Amino acid sequence: MRRTGAGLPMSADSGVVMRVHRVRTEFVVAACDSELIGRDLPVGDAGRTVKVSGQFYGERVVSKEELLWALERATIANLLGERVLRLAQEGGFIGPGGTVLLGGVPHAEIIAMRGEQERRTMEGEFCVVCGATGRPLTDGVCASCAADRSTLLSVPERGVVVICPHCGARKSGAKWERVGSSPLLTAEDLAPFLRVHPEVGVRRVRLEEISATGTVRELVGIADVIFRGAEREARVQLSVRTEHQTCTDCSRKSGRYYTAVLQLRGGLERSNEKSPALHARLDGTWSQLLNECRPDWRKAMSWREELPEGYDVFFTQTLAARAVAKVAKQKFRATIKESATLFGRKNGQDIYRVTFCVRFPRPGAEGPTGTPSREELEQ
């Protein structure tokens, strides 16, 4: 008996596609030369044609060993093309004169004698590569063998990650994301480069560093994946170059750019509160107010200046400044006065800088509480 299949090292692709069909008790192997798929072959003299269908012959290229392994167990075989017939002849499945022409293309059909062949076939469906039984099969191949012959994960030869050196944000297209991330590369940085097989689900990715220079790191990504219901480990090697660019917000902050200012002041009531006491009270209130603010509002804060009458807090986003002012009004009984100053023009539109004068009265009766809704903040 010929030793084929899992017992031999797999050869290079043979240029042959194959599909295994199970029809009642028959184990049908259909294989043809890959370039014949989709062709119309003339049959007879009446202009009739027969299409070579990938649905019947398959579209998965197989090795010589896999083809011979399947033919050894087939009860019926349909072979079309010079290459597949040559491989079948080399394997001893077709003798001299055992082929005909179909539309000018060599063709052969094999019907196996019952006996040992039938016993092996009737034992149950088996993988045509490793011979295992009792496993779910796709085109006659179990998930383990299909995974060994498929590219589950791949990555480009080199990836580029753009990081803001000030806040750790990553650049994704024209946007900056993940503000406050670590300046070191993580598995989350590798994820956008992964090209995943359509039947693969990725559960987790771990990174191991092989080598590193000033800007380039050689990494191995170890992924826990699920392929056709089976858990596996897939490895990819990636070279990642890091580039440092200052993100839009950090650039604005470093250039003292702002679109709005929050003026933190004491209340309008008559008071003999001295400047040190006022600043201490505003500092405490401001700390409490920050705890009530969303992260994206705090991110829009650029810098703060101390003045005799209080503090000025500068923002790179007007909507964020307005939202903070509204929280101050609802949580701390502050009064708000809003004014705008024309700053310039951009794309034919006027640009304004908005000032919010927020006055915090001295502690007294409790005011309304509750953080305003998103709809209220965007009004």
What the chain holds in terms of domains, given with CATH numbers, is 5-148 (3.30.1860.10), 153-246 (no CATH), 256-377 (no CATH)
Q: What pLDDT is recorded for position 116?
A: 46
Distance (Å, whole) CA 151 – CA 147: 7
- CA–CA separation, 90 and 68 (whole Å): 10
Q: Which of 244, 247, 226, 238 is nearest to 187 (CA)?
A: 238
Contact between residue 196 and residue 153 where contact means Cβ atoms under 8 Å apart: yes
DSSP states of 45-70: TTTEEEE--HHHH-S-EEEHHHHHHH
- Please check the confidence at residue 18 and state whether its pLDDT lies above 70: yes
Question: What per-residue confidence (pLDDT) applies to 359?
Answer: 93
CB 262 within 8 A of CB 321: yes
Alpha carbon distance 98, 119 (integer Å): 25
Mean pLDDT, residues 44-72 taken together: 86
Other Cβ atoms less than 10 A from the Cβ of 174: the count is: 6
Angle at 290 between CA 286 and CA 293, to 5 degrees: 140
Q: What is the model's pLDDT at position 369?
A: 42
Q: What is the pLDDT of residue 11?
A: 47
Under the banding of pLDDT at 50, 70 and 90, the label for residue 2 is very low
Percent of the chain with pLDDT over 70: 85
- Say if residue 64's pLDDT is above 60: yes
Mean pLDDT along residues 264-284: 84
For 149-287, strand residue ranges (E) read 153-154, 158-163, 170-172, 175-177, 195-196, 200-212, 216-227, 230-244, 260-266
| pTM beyond 0.75 | no
Q: In which element (H, E) is residue 252 found?
A: helix 248-254
pLDDT at 131: 64
- Residue 65 to residue 108: CA distance in whole angstroms: 19
